[in-house]
Amino acid sequence: MAKAKEDADVLDEKYLKGLTFQTSEKRTVREENKLVERFYPKELPLAPEHVLDVKDVGDALIIVAADGRKHRVAKKAEKAEKG
């Protein structure tokens, strides 16, 4: 449990910038005089609630999103902002 807390502290909103989360939205449409539900793809900016796991691997972060995608984000931006 403590490990998960440490990894959660590593995640900052700046690492999520530019990453996307793919989901779908349900819409009711009329087809052949019947109302049917269809799911349409939707892409959202990745938010902290979409993140399942974060691993710090030295010079990068591995971010696993709830849509199943794994993002590798360099931590160079952090060093540039401090300097």
State the CB neighbour count (10 A cutoff) for residue 55.
Answer: 14
Task: Count how many domains the chain has.
Answer: 1
pLDDT digits (tens, 9 = 90+) for 39-60: 999 999 999 999 999 999 889 9
- Distance between CA atoms of residues 25 and 55, nearest Å: 30
Distance of CA 46 to the CA centre of its chain: 4
Query: Strand ranges (DSSP E) for 1-83?
Result: 20-31, 34-45, 51-56, 60-65, 70-74
Q: What span, in angstroms and rounded, lies between the C-alpha atoms of 39 and 76? A: 38
Task: Report the C-alpha gap between 8 and 54 in whole angstroms.
Answer: 7
- At 13-27, the pLDDT tens digits run 888 999 999 999 999
If you average pLDDT over every residue of the chain, what do you get?
83
Domain membership of residue 10 as a residue range: 2-82
* Confidence tier at 68 by pLDDT (50, 70, 90): very high
